């Protein structure tokens, strides 16, 4: 009975939201594409007209998440680029209910939303989302509390590995040796001295039903993981590696390529945890040397100074970290697999190869 | 207005004693107020609670500096001479002690009524929680209100055998002190 | 100003659509339909990528219709074409090329089996001009077909007793079974072509006479006269010319017997002949050719102009091929040849810049033989066209459309041009000539033949393709090959569709959704129908910021970033 | 029906009557008993609510923010450092105009750490945009809590009900917990028009730039100013229903013709009351109980002070380097009014839980003999305890 009601409700939502921009003022000119927009064969959670940089990985990640999870969801969003570029008053790019409160409380606000929905007997899913600053660092406590209290919330971290909203400052997620404005490379220092926090393992240690890493380079995989998390009645966590062209120093057109390289070299392992145990990884068919990933980003430019012996040492260090990930999670693929790094993004006429 | 100060140690049920006494007064149709001398004290540390009983609503919220009565749950606390300092002239002081009232009064130079409340509690409950016998003795001495009001207040807080044994303690303690011995004081103060 | 503020500044959904981020753009993505290598290489002008796409969509009939909009005879070309498309196929650089040739054949066979009518054929309109097509070979048939589709009334004048030309007279059944050939030709004729047989140009009619009835003439007369062949003036008394031998074989299975045969030449006729001679019992069959064998060190224009698989089969069957060589001298015993002296040579750039054949002194050697067969090609039979030959061997057209100097209403195509060599090229000529005739008769401009830019292998994004082995093509093993059993089998059904899915869709939209999926700005719109540029996707320039992700991640190189106008 | 209850339990029961859908709980002395009691009521099945036991006050405030944004009636409570840890969220809640009620069990703020009562905590967030109501006794705390839901849901301004830590929270005294039916008739179910809803997906908490920010702030201020009538109406309606009232924005008690006023917030007003009774020999004084501190009822205050020669403002917090907070604001309000200015003397007393004894009252009155207009001091300071240089 509930399922029927939910299905009706979803149908109603889709009809109601249509795909048309609301014409709020007489002055607003309807876009010539509006009628086509209204027939897009996917739910649109995050609309055009948001103000993300060209080639923003986070915008793409959020679009994928909201369109996969929506429309029967509500969002709690941490302060950060995503919030700033999607909701500059009087506009919002969202087609799902959205609340932004503060930098460090997205998970706690989501907890409250979920409690309210539970009290009201509604089944709308709550998604909390934030960047790595709001997740790894300042919002970590609230996130940990949310997981421990077992709220039925999907927390999505768009991991672009620094405080990008404030202008590229290092965070707990910034990788070793990356140069940021607060871990700049210079005569004395080779970028960030510390390691990237292994947040996923910490999340997994909360014994939550599902925690995974994903990457915007593999949208099919992102959607699958979002669906997986949405199916769980309880706390789930998804980190989505989302390149920042500005912060990483690369052309916006290369966002996907760079995200893919991060996975292919082993520096960003794609792992799924259930109840604290690794249940699945995305095998790397043909691991790439980390230098292929590093050399296309300005944040690692200092690692390619031939005159500096430290540069080579740091490159080797990063390679060792990638190798460590590959060994730790057993990422090296055995043969060809439709779910490996090469198989997953295979395209065919009529859309990507769907894997479940 | 009658003002009572209860001294004890953390863990002896000092605040509970104050609340029960106030509750008893409320049950007897009086206005009441009870509060601890708020502290962060841990088990064993000296603590204080206050009770006010009156026939009309009580507005003041200051601590009781000059009590009409003192209830002392542990005679060793009497080593601090300031404990009895504020007691109104002619006020009553009830102490949990195995000594006789006379010996105790002589020892501290202040008229006191002794009750082996801890011992009684230990015998009855297996635990030295002197507050209930002391409250019973206090009400017996002052005849401020019937013991049933106390028993009712206890019923709001305790259940089962704990309640039954405490009620037995009330009755037992009432036998141990002279009924109405402090009635004059309370009548005077209530006026 | 009216009040606009919401309490505490909440915003309504999707109001960002009022903020047109398109103004941020300095580069804009556009769809750029580049020429797929297969298309660029096809002498018939087919766009294989286009019909492979239809197969990928599981619409086999639409695939065939797309194909026959260009080439009406896929069952034939799918058997006889040397398929330069496959040689050019970008996929060959990843694993192996798509089996385009076999898929084309499959489409043709499916159409015959299901009797699919040719698309876009108008009813005959008696008010439209008439066009005469001389010769019912592949070029003539193609011209007639395309002219009919353009609404003209077409009459083919054929010298022989049946249509087909060289297809029928010179291609062995092992390559092209007669039932397939007949079925496809008759289906082509059924679009409304008037075929008049036994009408030989020069004997039964003259071109000049046609002007009374026909508004234009297409000459698809082929090369019916063997080229003169002699080495140092010596001509063996029993000299057999290759094409002549082949026609005899195809017509009545006759072939002179010989123990050791040397064939001189470098085309399909030569290879066909070698194989037939070998099968008929010749112990040694040697092909001496000036061209090279296919291989990494052989330049494309130096490769033997033979269907690659035919070459492979010939080698399988024991034909010896001596590349980069020519016959320098015949060794005669009386009027009979007993051996040849050959010498190595290579085509190298000469003083004029054009490639010249250079023989290398000191490489001479002698091969004993019973019979020498020249297969060095044929020339136009001047009968009836002497005026047009201007003393040359061929009807030299001045452009791909087949225009002849001084004869505005006469067009030529196919082998008669002298610069063609395949059935597919003749079919292509027929189509282009039909366009030119239409242009001439309707006084409209000629179609623009400027090719779209090609898409190189490097223009693709290979992340999105998986390696996948080419479909195996069934083949009769050499020991079981006969005179009339078709050697190559069919690739059909699910295997064919799977093979078509290997197509990269070079330079054209694969409808893979990548641009739609990966646009951070939701500025790619997916449409239900193909948009005007042949894609299912539109760029919403109101919102596209021009980041270029779609262009980078388009697997097919179909999206290009250009400067914002 | 009157019953004798500890203040914290009385609040827990009052909250229960309001049928909150979500309660966020985090312990801090002296607020802990409230959430303990609520938890017990939930455990015993007497309160049906989503009780979220969070990991910090920061999350407590965030949880109720999220819950109320999602349309739930929400409640939380805290004290002292907890209020400060919440501060960022408090501004956020009011800025988003999200209705909810929070009990502040007033306590001092460290360092030095001190768990006892004063009002430094709620005073520290006086500019957070919340309505602040101070309670003189536990009955007022109960009644104000119920009224607070009515006020917040009508004004879309969050309400902080402030009650002195320990002094009220831990005091056992008779209170009337109104019947459920009565509260239901007073407090209709909560319907938040801007609630997060997939059927009408608004975006809350947008980024507002210079083009609109001042206007949004203005509307917040206007809402606060206008909420005064709602606060008064809530109390008046309550009186109609229960016969009790809490004193609206402020209340005055004392002889009509007294030209001395003593203004105070919180529970100390009652001790002053008892002291005045105890000392009839002293100069007659009007006691002005400021119940509603935010919005600041300037007009009512001017009216209350009409005819006063002297006004003593007694408060339990101060602003180092300035002096009294309420005193400063009262002076400003009276200065802006149309009446003659009384002499205003401003005392902070009872910091960090220091007892306010009856005996202080005569000293207070006597101090007026020598105090000059505008004088401020921590009245009960014992300077001899300080080193010379720190006095």
Residue with tokens 């970008």: C90
Beta bridge partners of D343: D310
- Under 8 Å between Cβ of B59 and B82: no
Average pLDDT in chain B: 91
Average pLDDT, integer, range D224-246: 97
Return the CATH number at B164. 3.40.920.10
Q: Which DSSP helix (H) or strand (E) runs through C131?
A: strand C130-134
Question: In chain A, whose CA is at the least distance from the CA of D53?
Answer: A149
**pLDDT for residue D306 is more than 90:** yes
Nearest to A256 among C13, C523, C549 (CB): C549
**pLDDT for residue A345 is more than 90:** no
Mark yes or no for CB contact C5/D219 under 8 Å: yes
* C38/C255: higher pLDDT: C38
pLDDT tens-digit series, residues C133-146: 999 999 999 999 99
Looking at chain A, the whole-number percentage of residues with pLDDT higher than 90 is 80
pLDDT confidence of residue A23:
47
Average pLDDT, integer, range D65-82: 98
The whole-angstrom separation of Cα D92 and Cα D128 is 8
- Domain check: are D76 and D198 in the same one? yes
Whole-model pTM: value is 0.89
pLDDT confidence of residue B85:
82
Mark yes or no for CB contact B60/D30 under 8 Å: no
Average pLDDT, integer, range D308-316: 97
- Under 8 Å between Cβ of B34 and B51: yes
pLDDT confidence of residue A19:
41
C13 touches chain D (CB under 8 A): yes
Mark yes or no for CB contact D173/B33 under 8 Å: yes
Q: Among D191, D223, D242, which residue terminates a domain?
A: D242
> What is the tally of structural domains in chain B?
1
pLDDT tens-digit series, residues C341-352: 989 988 787 777
pLDDT confidence of residue A98:
97
Question: In chain D, whose CA is at the least distance from the CA of B50?
Answer: D171
**pLDDT for residue D126 is more than 60:** yes
For residue D269, give both structure tokens.
């007003």
Mark yes or no for CB contact D215/C13 under 8 Å: no
> What is the tally of structural domains in chain D?
2
Give me the DSSP letters along B59-128: ---S--SS-SEEEES-GGGGGSGGGGTTPPTT-EEEEE-SS-HHHHHHHHTS--EEE-HHHHHHHHHSS-
Give the domain extent around B103.
2-190
pLDDT tens-digit series, residues C531-561: 667 788 888 888 999 999 999 999 999 999 9
Segment among B19-23, C257-261, D79-83 with least mean pLDDT: C257-261
Segment among C331-340, C444-453, D187-196 with least mean pLDDT: C331-340
The whole-angstrom separation of Cα C110 and Cα C497 is 13
Planar angle of CA C283, C286, C291, nearest 5 degrees:
165
- Under 8 Å between Cβ of C67 and C52: no
pLDDT confidence of residue A155:
98
**pLDDT for residue A31 is more than 60:** no
pLDDT tens-digit series, residues C459-496: 999 999 999 999 999 989 888 888 888 988 999 999 99
- Under 8 Å between Cβ of C488 and C309: yes
- Domain check: are D367 and D292 in the same one? yes
Looking at chain C, the whole-number percentage of residues with pLDDT higher than 70 is 98
Mark yes or no for CB contact D29/B33 under 8 Å: no
* A34 band by pLDDT with thresholds 50, 70 and 90: low
Planar angle of CA C438, C439, C444, nearest 5 degrees:
135
Average pLDDT in chain D: 96
Cβ neighbours of C395 (radius 10 Å):
25
For chain B, the chains sharing at least 3 beta-carbon pairs closer than 8 angstroms are: D
The whole-angstrom separation of Cα B54 and Cα C260 is 139
The whole-angstrom separation of Cα A189 and Cα A314 is 11
- Under 8 Å between Cβ of A270 and A263: yes
Mark yes or no for CB contact A39/C528 under 8 Å: yes
Looking at chain D, the whole-number percentage of residues with pLDDT higher than 90 is 98
Return the CATH number at D327. 3.40.50.920
Could you tell me if residue C350 is left (phi over 0), alpha (psi between -120 and 50 degrees) or otherwise beta?
Answer: beta
Distance from CA of D287 to the nearest CA of C (A): 38
- Domain check: are D176 and D85 in the same one? yes
The whole-angstrom separation of Cα D9 and Cα D159 is 20
**pLDDT for residue A81 is more than 90:** yes
Pairing of strands C355-359, C336-349: antiparallel
**pLDDT for residue A17 is more than 50:** no
Pairing of strands D101-106, D159-164: parallel
Nearest to D216 among C5, C11, C12 (CB): C5
* B119/C255: higher pLDDT: B119
Residues from chain D that touch A46, judged by Cβ atoms under 8 A, are none
Looking at chain D, the whole-number percentage of residues with pLDDT higher than 70 is 100
Start-to-end Cα distance in chain A: 27
* C169 band by pLDDT with thresholds 50, 70 and 90: confident
**pLDDT for residue A353 is more than 70:** no
Beta-carbon pairs below 8 A across chains B and D: 71
- How many Å separate Cα D276 from the centre of its chain? 24
Which domains does chain C show, CATH number per domain? 18-33+509-563 (3.30.70.20), 37-118+460-500 (1.10.1060.10), 130-224+380-442 (3.50.50.60), 229-376 (3.50.50.60)
- Evaluate the omega torsion of the peptide bond into residue D295 and state whether it is cis, within 30 degrees of 0: yes
Could you tell me if residue C189 is left (phi over 0), alpha (psi between -120 and 50 degrees) or otherwise beta?
Answer: alpha
pLDDT tens-digit series, residues C19-66: 999 999 999 999 999 999 999 999 999 999 999 999 998 999 999 999
The whole-angstrom separation of Cα C255 and Cα A246 is 77
pLDDT confidence of residue A20:
44
Return the CATH number at D190. 3.40.50.970
* C361 band by pLDDT with thresholds 50, 70 and 90: confident
Question: In chain C, whose CA is at the least distance from the CA of D69?
Answer: C10
For residue D80, give both structure tokens.
């002292």
- Under 8 Å between Cβ of D225 and A120: no
Where are chain A's structural domains?
A: 42-343
**pLDDT for residue D140 is more than 60:** yes
The whole-angstrom separation of Cα C221 and Cα A24 is 72
CA-nearest of A151, A157, A169 to A202 is A157
The whole-angstrom separation of Cα A153 and Cα A146 is 8
Within 8 A by CB and 6+ apart from A87, the residues are: A93, A94, A98, A100, C11, D203, D205, D206, D207
CA-nearest of A269, A255, A311, A264 to A290 is A264
Distance from CA of B97 to the nearest CA of D (A): 28
Distance from CA of A27 to the nearest CA of D (A): 19
Residues from chain C that touch D208, judged by Cβ atoms under 8 A, are 9
**pLDDT for residue D78 is more than 80:** yes
**pLDDT for residue C313 is more than 80:** yes
The ipTM of this complex is: 0.89
**pLDDT for residue A27 is more than 60:** no
Mark yes or no for CB contact A100/D53 under 8 Å: no
pLDDT confidence of residue A4:
55
pLDDT tens-digit series, residues A305-341: 999 999 999 999 999 999 999 999 999 988 888 889 9
For residue C215, give both structure tokens.
């508004």
pLDDT tens-digit series, residues B138-177: 999 999 999 999 999 999 999 999 999 999 999 999 999 9
pLDDT confidence of residue A172:
97
* C279/D3: higher pLDDT: D3
pLDDT confidence of residue B104:
92
Question: In chain A, whose CA is at the least distance from the CA of C25?
Answer: A54
* C235 band by pLDDT with thresholds 50, 70 and 90: confident
Pairing of strands A347-348, A351-352: antiparallel
C14 touches chain A (CB under 8 A): yes
- Under 8 Å between Cβ of A178 and A162: yes
A333 touches chain C (CB under 8 A): no
The whole-angstrom separation of Cα C181 and Cα A122 is 70
Distance from CA of D221 to the nearest CA of C (A): 12
Q: Which DSSP helix (H) or strand (E) runs through D153?
A: helix D138-155
Give the domain extent around D44.
2-242
* A304 band by pLDDT with thresholds 50, 70 and 90: very high
pLDDT confidence of residue B81:
85
D81 touches chain B (CB under 8 A): no
Mark yes or no for CB contact C12/D202 under 8 Å: yes
Alpha-carbon separation of residue B86 from B15, B82, C64 (angstroms)? 20, 8, 112
Could you tell me if residue B82 is left (phi over 0), alpha (psi between -120 and 50 degrees) or otherwise beta?
Answer: alpha
B183 touches chain D (CB under 8 A): no
Residues constituting chain C:
565
- Domain check: are D219 and D269 in the same one? no
pLDDT confidence of residue C152:
96
SS3 A144: helix
Question: In chain D, whose CA is at the least distance from the CA of A138?
Answer: D58
* B191 band by pLDDT with thresholds 50, 70 and 90: low
C364 touches chain A (CB under 8 A): no
Mark yes or no for CB contact D202/C5 under 8 Å: no
pLDDT confidence of residue A36:
57
**pLDDT for residue C277 is more than 80:** yes
CA-nearest of D5, D46, D42, D44 to D25 is D42
- Under 8 Å between Cβ of C221 and C380: yes
**pLDDT for residue D37 is more than 90:** yes
Cβ neighbours of B123 (radius 10 Å):
12
Beta bridge partners of C561: C29
* A18 band by pLDDT with thresholds 50, 70 and 90: very low
Beta bridge partners of C130: C153
pLDDT confidence of residue C298:
80
Report the residue of C2, C7, C8, C14 to disrupt the D interface, i.e. the one with the largest count of D CBs within 10 Å: C8
**pLDDT for residue A30 is more than 60:** no
pLDDT confidence of residue B38:
67
The alpha-helical segments, DSSP class H, found in chain A are 2-17, 34-37, 57-69, 81-86, 106-120, 132, 140-148, 199-204, 219-231, 245-248, 255-265, 290-294, 309-329
Mark yes or no for CB contact C9/D208 under 8 Å: yes
**pLDDT for residue A6 is more than 70:** no
pLDDT confidence of residue A28:
45
For residue C497, give both structure tokens.
């569709």
- Under 8 Å between Cβ of B23 and D175: no
Residues from chain B that touch D355, judged by Cβ atoms under 8 A, are 62-63
B62 touches chain D (CB under 8 A): yes
Beta bridge partners of A99: A76, D204
For residue A64, the number of C-alpha atoms closer than 13 Å in the C-beta half-sphere is 32
Residues from chain A that touch D206, judged by Cβ atoms under 8 A, are 87-92, 100
Distance from CA of D203 to the nearest CA of A (A): 5
Query: Given this structure, which CATH class describes domain A42-343?
Result: alpha beta
Nearest to D357 among B22, B27, B65 (CB): B65
Segment among A81-95, C169-183, D271-285 with least mean pLDDT: C169-183
- Domain check: are D7 and D104 in the same one? yes
- Domain check: are D232 and D255 in the same one? no
**pLDDT for residue B19 is more than 90:** yes
Residues from chain A that touch D59, judged by Cβ atoms under 8 A, are 105, 107-108, 111, 141-142, 145
Cβ neighbours of C283 (radius 10 Å):
11
Residues from chain A that touch C11, judged by Cβ atoms under 8 A, are 87, 89-92
Mark yes or no for CB contact D52/A149 under 8 Å: yes
pLDDT tens-digit series, residues A256-286: 999 999 999 999 999 999 999 999 999 999 9
C11 touches chain A (CB under 8 A): yes
Give me the DSSP letters along D22-89: EEEE---TTTHHHHHHHHHHHHTTS--SEEEE-SSHHHHHHHHHHHHHTT--EEEEE-HHHHHHHHHH
Nearest to A145 among D55, D74, D198 (CB): D55
Residues from chain A that touch C466, judged by Cβ atoms under 8 A, are 336, 342-343, 346
Mark yes or no for CB contact C11/A87 under 8 Å: yes
The whole-angstrom separation of Cα D63 and Cα C19 is 33
pLDDT confidence of residue A1:
42
For residue D293, give both structure tokens.
């501190």
The whole-angstrom separation of Cα D94 and Cα D216 is 11
A39 touches chain C (CB under 8 A): yes
Looking at chain B, the whole-number percentage of residues with pLDDT higher than 90 is 71
Nearest to A48 among C21, C538, C551 (CB): C21
**pLDDT for residue B97 is more than 60:** yes
- Domain check: are D209 and D265 in the same one? no
């Amino acid at each position: 009975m509930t399922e029927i009601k939910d299905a009706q409700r979803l149908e109603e939502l889709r009809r109601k939201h249509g795909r048309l921009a609301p014409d709020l003022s007489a002055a607003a000119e309807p876009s010539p594409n509006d009628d086509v927009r209204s027939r897009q064969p996917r739910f649109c959670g995050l609309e055009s007209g948001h103000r993300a940089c060209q080639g923003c990985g986070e915008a793409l990640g959020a679009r994928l998440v909201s369109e996969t999870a929506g429309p029967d969801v509500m969002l709690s969003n941490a302060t950060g680029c995503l919030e700033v570029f999607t909701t500059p008053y009087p506009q919002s790019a969202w087609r799902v209910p959205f609340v932004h409160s503060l930098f460090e409380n997205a998970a706690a606000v989501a907890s409250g939303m979920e409690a309210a929905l539970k009290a009201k007997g509604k089944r709308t899913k709550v998604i909390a989302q934030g960047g790595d600053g709001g997740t790894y660092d300042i919002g970590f406590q609230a996130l940990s509390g949310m997981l421990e209290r077992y709220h039925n919330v999907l927390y999505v971290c768009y991991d672009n590995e620094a405080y990008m909203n404030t202008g590229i400052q290092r965070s707990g997620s910034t990788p070793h040796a990356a140069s940021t404005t607060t871990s700049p490379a210079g005569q004395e220092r080779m970028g960030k001295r510390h390691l990237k926090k292994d947040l996923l393992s910490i999340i997994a240690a909360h014994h939550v039903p599902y925690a995974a890493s994903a990457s915007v380079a593999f949208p099919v995989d992102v959607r699958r993981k979002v669906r997986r998390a949405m199916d769980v009645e309880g706390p789930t966590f998804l980190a989505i590696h989302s390149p920042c062209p500005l912060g990483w120093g690369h052309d916006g057109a290369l966002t996907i390529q760079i995200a893919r390289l991060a996975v292919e070299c082993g520096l960003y392992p794609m792992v799924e945890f259930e109840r604290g145990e690794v249940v699945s990884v995305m095998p790397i068919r043909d691991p790439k040397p980390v230098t292929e990933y590093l050399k296309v980003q300005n944040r690692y430019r200092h690692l390619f100074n031939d005159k500096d012996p430290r540069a080579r040492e740091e490159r080797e260090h990063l390679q060792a970290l990638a190798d460590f990930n590959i060994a730790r999670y057993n990422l090296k693929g055995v043969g060809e697999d439709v779910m490996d790094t090469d198989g997953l993004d295979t395209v065919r006429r009529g859309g990507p190869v769907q894997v479940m | 207005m009658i003002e009572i100060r209860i001294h004890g140690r953390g863990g002896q049920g000092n605040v509970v004693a104050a609340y029960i006494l106030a509750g008893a007064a409320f049950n007897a149709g009086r206005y009441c107020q009870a509060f601890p001398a708020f502290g962060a004290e841990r088990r064993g540390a000296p603590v204080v609670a206050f009770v006010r009983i009156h026939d009309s609503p009580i507005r003041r919220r200051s601590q009781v500096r000059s009590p009409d009565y003192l209830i002392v749950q542990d005679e060793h606390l009497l080593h601090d001479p300031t404990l009895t300092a504020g007691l109104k002239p002619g006020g009553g002081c009830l102490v949990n002690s195995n000594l006789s009232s006379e010996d105790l009064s002589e020892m501290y130079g202040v008229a006191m009524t002794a009750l082996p409340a801890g011992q009684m509690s230990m015998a009855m409950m297996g635990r030295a929680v002197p507050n209930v016998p002391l409250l019973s003795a206090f009400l017996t001495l002052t005849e401020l209100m019937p013991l049933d009001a106390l028993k009712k207040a206890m019923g709001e807080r305790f259940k089962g055998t704990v309640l039954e044994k405490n009620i037995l303690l009330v009755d037992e303690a009432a036998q141990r002190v002279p009924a109405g011995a402090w009635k004059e004081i309370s009548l005077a103060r209530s006026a | 100003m009216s009040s606009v503020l919401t309490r505490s500044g909440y915003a309504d959904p999707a109001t960002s659509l009022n903020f047109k981020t398109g103004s941020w753009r300095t580069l804009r993505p556009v769809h750029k339909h580049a020429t797929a290598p297969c298309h660029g290489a096809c002498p018939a002008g087919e766009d294989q990528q286009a019909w492979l796409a239809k197969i990928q969509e599981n619409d086999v009939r639409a695939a065939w219709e797309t194909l026959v909009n260009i080439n009406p005879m896929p069952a034939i070309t799918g058997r006889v074409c040397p398929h330069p498309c496959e040689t050019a196929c970008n996929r060959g650089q990843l694993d192996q090329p798509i089996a385009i040739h076999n898929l084309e054949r499959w489409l043709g066979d499916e159409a015959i089996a299901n009797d699919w009518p040719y698309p876009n054929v108008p009813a005959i309109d008696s008010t439209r001009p008439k066009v005469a097509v001389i010769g019912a070979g592949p070029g003539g048939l193609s011209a007639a077909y395309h002219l009919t589709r353009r609404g003209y009334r077409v009459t083919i004048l054929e010298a022989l007793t049946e249509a087909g030309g060289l297809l029928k007279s010179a291609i062995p059944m092992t390559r092209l079974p007669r039932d397939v050939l007949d079925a496809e030709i008759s289906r082509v004729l059924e679009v409304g072509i008037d075929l008049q047989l036994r009408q030989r140009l020069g004997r039964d009619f003259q071109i000049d006479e046609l002007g009374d009835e026909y508004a234009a003439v297409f000459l698809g007369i082929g090369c019916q006269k063997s080229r003169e062949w002699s080495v140092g003036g010596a001509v063996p008394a029993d000299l057999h010319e290759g094409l002549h031998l082949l026609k005899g074989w195809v017509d009545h299975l006759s072939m002179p017997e010989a123990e050791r045969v040397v064939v001189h030449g470098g085309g399909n006729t030569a290879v066909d002949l070698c194989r037939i001679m070998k099968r008929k019992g010749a112990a040694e069959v040697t092909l001496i050719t000036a061209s090279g064998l296919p291989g990494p060190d052989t330049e494309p224009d130096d490769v033997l102009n033979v269907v690659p698989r035919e070459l492979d089969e010939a080698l399988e069957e024991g034909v010896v091929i001596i590349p980069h060589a020519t016959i320098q001298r015949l060794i005669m015993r009386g009027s009979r040849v007993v051996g040849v002296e050959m010498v190595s040579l290579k085509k190298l750039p000469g003083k004029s810049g054009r490639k010249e054949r250079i023989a290398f002194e000191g490489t001479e050697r002698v091969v004993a033989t019973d019979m020498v067969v020249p297969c060095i090609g044929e020339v136009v039979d001047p009968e009836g066209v002497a005026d047009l030959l201007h003393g040359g061997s061929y009807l030299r057209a001045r452009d791909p459309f087949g225009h002849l100097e001084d004869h505005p209403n006469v067009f030529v195509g196919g082998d008669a041009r002298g610069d063609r060599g395949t059935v597919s090229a003749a079919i292509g000529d027929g189509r282009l000539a039909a366009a030119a005739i239409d242009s001439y008769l309707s006084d409209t401009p000629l179609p623009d033949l400027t090719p779209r830019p090609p898409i190189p292998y490097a223009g693709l994004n290979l992340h999105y393709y998986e390696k996948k082995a080419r479909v195996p093509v069934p083949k009769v093993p050499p020991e079981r090959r006969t005179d009339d059993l078709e050697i190559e089998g069919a690739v059909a059904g699910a295997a064919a569709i799977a093979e078509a899915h290997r197509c990269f869709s070079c330079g054209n939209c694969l409808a893979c959704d990548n641009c739609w999926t990966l646009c951070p700005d939701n500025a790619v719109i997916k449409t239900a129908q193909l948009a005007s540029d042949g894609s299912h996707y539109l760029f919403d320039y109101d919102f596209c910021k021009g980041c270029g992700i779609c262009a980078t991640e388009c697997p097919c190189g179909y999206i290009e970033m250009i400067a914002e106008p | 029906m009157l019953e004798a209850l500890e203040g914290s339990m009385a609040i827990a029961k009052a909250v229960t009557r309001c049928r909150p859908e979500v309660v966020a709980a985090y312990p801090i002395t002296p607020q802990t008993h409230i959430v303990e009691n609520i938890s017990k009521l939930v455990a015993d099945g007497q309160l049906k609510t989503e009780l979220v036991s969070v990991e910090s006050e920061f999350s407590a405030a965030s949880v109720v923010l999220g819950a109320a944004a999602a349309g739930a009636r929400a409640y939380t409570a805290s004290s002292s450092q907890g209020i400060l840890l919440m501060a960022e969220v408090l501004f956020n809640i009011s800025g988003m105009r999200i209705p909810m009620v929070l009990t502040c069990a007033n306590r001092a703020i460290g360092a030095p750490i001190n768990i006892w009562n004063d009002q430094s905590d709620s005073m520290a967030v006086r500019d957070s945009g919340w309505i602040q109501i101070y309670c003189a006794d536990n009955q007022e705390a109960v009644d104000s809590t119920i009224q607070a839901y009515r006020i917040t849901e009508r004004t879309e301004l969050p309400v902080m009900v402030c009650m002195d830590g320990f002094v009220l929270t831990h005091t056992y005294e008779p209170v009337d917990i109104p019947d459920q039916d009565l509260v239901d008739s007073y407090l209709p179910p909560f319907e938040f028009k801007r609630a997060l809803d997939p059927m009408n997906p608004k975006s809350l908490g947008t980024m507002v730039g210079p083009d609109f920010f001042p206007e949004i702030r203005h509307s917040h201020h206007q809402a606060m100013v206008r909420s005064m009538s709602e606060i008064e109406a809530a109390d008046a309606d309550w009186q109609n229903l229960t016969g009790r009232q809490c004193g609206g924005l402020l209340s005055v008690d004392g002889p009509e013709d007294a030209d001395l006023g003593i203004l105070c917030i919180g529970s100390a007003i009652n001790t002053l009351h008892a002291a005045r009774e105890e000392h009839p020999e002293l100069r007659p004084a009007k006691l002005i109980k400021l119940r509603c501190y935010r919005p600041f009822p300037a007009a009512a205050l001017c009216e209350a002070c009409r005819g006063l020669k002297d006004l003593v403002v007694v408060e339990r917090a101060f602003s180092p380097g300035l002096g009294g907070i309420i005193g400063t604001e009262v002076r400003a309000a009276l200065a802006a009014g149309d009446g003659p200015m009384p002499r205003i003397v401003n005392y902070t007393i009872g910091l960090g839980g220091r007892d306010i004894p009856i005996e202080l009252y005569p000293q207070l009155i006597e101090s007026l003999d020598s105090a000059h207009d505008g004088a401020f001091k921590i009245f009960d300071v014992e300077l001899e305890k300080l080193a010379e240089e720190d006095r």
